[in-house]
Structure 1
């Protein structure tokens, strides 16, 4: 068996938690922890965005698109992304001057230090304009924008994670419905086979060539075969109900093609995996953790900038006009810098820097853990998929041999060289082999979906 050698090496030297951030890198090396390469897996090809199209099933393609459009969790995630992008837009506005414009007109008596004579009412007009702009000498505004941008990208990764889950669970529910439909069809075929045997044995009993024992054995085989059908129909119904919920509708809203599906979906090509760098870019949870780390690192820069003076350039002008000053309007203006600094008491600012640094260290540790967990999940999914394929191949051979054995037993029974018991045993072995193979097909399909999710899936 070939081995896919893969080591995800986290490089953190360039992403030290501080104002200057460089994204961590995952490097693929030629030695290290290995992943067993499953049969039918290509370790060099990249996983496409629309990975479910590897099944080449138009019904599945349509179901996934409908689920992505209708899923309520995805709608919530999209709304959260829109909110985060709006926050980014607000933060970006910090690079621009802030302005304020005021104006008003009023009518009333003039005010003064002594009582005013009656009839001294007048119109008063006023206006004002204020302008201020922060000189970002120490990078506070730039770092705040970087943090907001990274937050928005982290929320986008969360949205992508929901899309991966919706697509995967839709494919799983559809695959289960098809698999259980095929299994139920096989069970009905097995039931028909046992009923044919029972009719033959009953006729032989009536002719006096066999006794009641053989009839009871054949009848027992019929009952056993019949008992398998309700469970499979129930499992298929459950899968269709799950599919209907993912589509955001009622059970009757599931397309008739999916309701009547008995063709078990399988990829038309080997499963692509890609390299470790692609895994980092593709898995939403890794992208989210890396963007959280970037945001928290940027906030260290924001907190550090508070240790230094904050300089704002400001200007304002005011206008006043009333009946008394008509012809000689009052106008005033001011222009100059504004300096604000918490010096010499910078204890609060230093405490905030320490808080930001501690949060950055926590985010870095979280990212490291996510990378390790991602590698573990891929290894485990590949191992389960490889084992499932080997088991399925063996069970397919067992089913074929059981089919051959049953055919030989039937021929020899008709020739009188074996007893009915041998035929019934061969028949039961065939039924069990078919049932076990059907279960294996469902488990293999589920393991394949788990592998797609572990590899990051696609959300295009």
Structure 2
């Protein structure tokens, strides 16, 4: 018993000394701050507003500004049904499971648990004496447990890396929300724009058909030349020919939206209603510091977390350069049925050190590999921030320039309407030939379509600006990310415990207000 007490005291003392001497290798990650970002103060082309004019939190559901119930319904359905978003949600679940596996390494691990038994029966005969039989059995069982102390921070860095990867997966899922919401809105209004273009083409074709019929009557009565007839016919047929291509585009846009909704190609009830005009967008008043508008984007957050995950891998690799200190213990019991040996109980405990001394530079090479990967991740972060700034600036200038073009095109369309009115009057009064009427009709059709296409481009630019600002994502639980039927299927295969209902960290939500969460 004294020996056992001494071993226990020694074991505890060694454990305490090891824990007191623990350190963590590798760099402590600090999120990089691009030097140019602090001085980047664009005016966003007159769209910057005062803090009292709005809140950046409105970006989370910016599509409500369009006041379109059909769009609201479609976006909600996309967020619930889109298959790529489900994959992103499952990636979050995978990253959580990986994190749980890495965290388990901090605790003692069972290295071996085994038991064996044997029963032997034999028959002996020497040819003279009667045959005899005998039998015997043997058995043994044992358990060994090892606990590698995190002396150099290998496990701490591993947990840090897995946790950062988990947070990156959440940011990636939110970035996909941003993309899908913008795609849904953009496709929806492209579909509406195409609907209105078809309507304009049909109205103009009806007008031109009427002109063609009048010209036909006049030609038949000898009052018009065949040239006027053929020109009227050509213009009418040319306008008519634009409709099939527009109808093809409309169906393709509908099918693109169906894919986002995880539906096969088919009519979508939310698109059945006719529209008379595209929504008129009020001037945007963006609030907040441009640098923070960039840093809050989910893809920027994901890139920062990915760099953090890689930074911790340097510490994991460096730990292999030093000896690993473990504490082990084993327990065993063995015996047999013959009584030749006594049933035995064995116990052993103590420290163990392993050190890969002759690695021939392999470990140091791995450390260098991890450091090179970190620098790649940091460069990728800088590139992501630059791309984000570019997208914001591009979208902002597109918003303001399409608005300026819209004002000019509205006046141009009004002028074309007046020109057609005058051409018709002068033609009826005999002061102009029919070619002037055809030219005026063609001009009005062209200007009306240009104005409509520009309105669609303006709405698309507004959508892209919201996307560039990182708006459109919602905090979701795993229950929101993974549909109920998928969760039930997974439960039927594997015991997931409570992980399918666990809350997702909301630390990234600080980005909604433009504050960095790291």
TM-score class, shorter: 0.7 to 0.9
Report the Cα distance in structure 2 between the residues aligned to 1:205 and 1:73, rounded to whole angstroms. Answer: 62
Distance 1:217 1:300, change over 3 A: same
Report the Cα distance in structure 2 between the residues aligned to 1:30 and 1:142, rounded to whole angstroms. Answer: 33
Unaligned runs of 5+ in 2: 1-24, 123-130, 475-518
Q: CA deviation at 1:99?
A: 2.5
Distance 1:30 1:276, change over 3 A: closer
Distance 1:42 1:126, change over 3 A: farther
Q: Does 1:252 align with 2:243?
A: no
| Secondary structure class of the residue paired with 2:371 | helix
Q: Does 1:127 align with 2:164?
A: no
Mapped contact 1:26–1:280 kept (Cα < 8 A): no
Report the Cα distance in structure 2 between the residues aligned to 1:181 and 1:129, rounded to whole angstroms. Answer: 74
Structure 2 counterpart of 1:37, from 34, 41, 45 = 45
Matches within 5 A, 1:49-88: 49-88=60-99
State the partner residue of 2:298: 283
The farther-off stretch of 308-317 and 419-428 is 419-428
Report the Cα distance in structure 1 between the residues aligned to 2:243 and 2:106, rounded to whole angstroms. Answer: 69
Q: Does 1:329 align with 2:343?
A: yes
Report the Cα distance in structure 1 between the residues aligned to 2:184 and 2:313, rounded to whole angstroms. Answer: 39
Mapped contact 1:109–1:122 kept (Cα < 8 A): yes
State the partner residue of 2:117: 106
The farther-off stretch of 307-316 and 420-429 is 420-429
Report the Cα distance in structure 2 between the residues aligned to 1:360 and 1:30, rounded to whole angstroms. Answer: 23
Report the Cα distance in structure 2 between the residues aligned to 1:101 and 1:18, rounded to whole angstroms. Answer: 32
Structure 1 counterpart of 2:29, from 8, 14, 21 = 21
> Structure 2 length normalisation: TM-score?
0.74
CA RMSD across the alignment: 3.5
Mapped contact 2:303–2:384 kept (Cα < 8 A): yes
Q: Does 1:316 align with 2:341?
A: no
Report the Cα distance in structure 2 between the residues aligned to 1:203 and 1:240, rounded to whole angstroms. Answer: 42
Mapped contact 1:105–1:126 kept (Cα < 8 A): yes
The farther-off stretch of 47-56 and 134-143 is 47-56
Report the Cα distance in structure 2 between the residues aligned to 1:256 and 1:64, rounded to whole angstroms. Answer: 11
Report the Cα distance in structure 2 between the residues aligned to 1:159 and 1:326, rounded to whole angstroms. Answer: 67
Distance 1:223 1:389, change over 3 A: same
Mapped contact 2:255–2:266 kept (Cα < 8 A): no
Q: CA deviation at 1:121?
A: 2.8
Distance 1:167 1:217, change over 3 A: same
Mapped contact 1:140–1:305 kept (Cα < 8 A): yes
Report the Cα distance in structure 2 between the residues aligned to 1:259 and 1:250, rounded to whole angstroms. Answer: 20
| Secondary structure class of the residue paired with 1:356 | helix
State the partner residue of 2:173: 159
Mapped contact 2:38–2:291 kept (Cα < 8 A): no
C-alpha distance after superposition, 1:200-239 (max 9, x if no partner)? 5556667776655554444444333323322222221221
Q: Does 1:397 align with 2:411?
A: yes
Mapped contact 2:198–2:243 kept (Cα < 8 A): yes
Q: Does 1:384 align with 2:398?
A: yes
Q: Does 1:136 align with 2:150?
A: yes
Mapped contact 1:38–1:382 kept (Cα < 8 A): no
Distance 1:197 1:149, change over 3 A: same
Q: Does 1:146 align with 2:160?
A: yes
C-alpha distance after superposition, 1:333-381 (max 9, x if no partner)? 1122222233587844333222222222222122122212221222222
C-alpha distance after superposition, 1:286-336 (max 9, x if no partner)? 223212211111011112222333222222211224334599632111122
Report the Cα distance in structure 2 between the residues aligned to 1:217 and 1:343, rounded to whole angstroms. Answer: 91
> Structure 1 length normalisation: TM-score?
0.82
C-alpha distance after superposition, 1:91-110 (max 9, x if no partner)? 01011221356353624249
Q: How many residues align?
A: 437
Distance 1:268 1:94, change over 3 A: farther
Distance 1:238 1:297, change over 3 A: same
Report the Cα distance in structure 2 between the residues aligned to 1:255 and 1:448, rounded to whole angstroms. Answer: 25
C-alpha distance after superposition, 1:16-41 (max 9, x if no partner)? x95211222468978546354266x7
State the partner residue of 1:89: 100
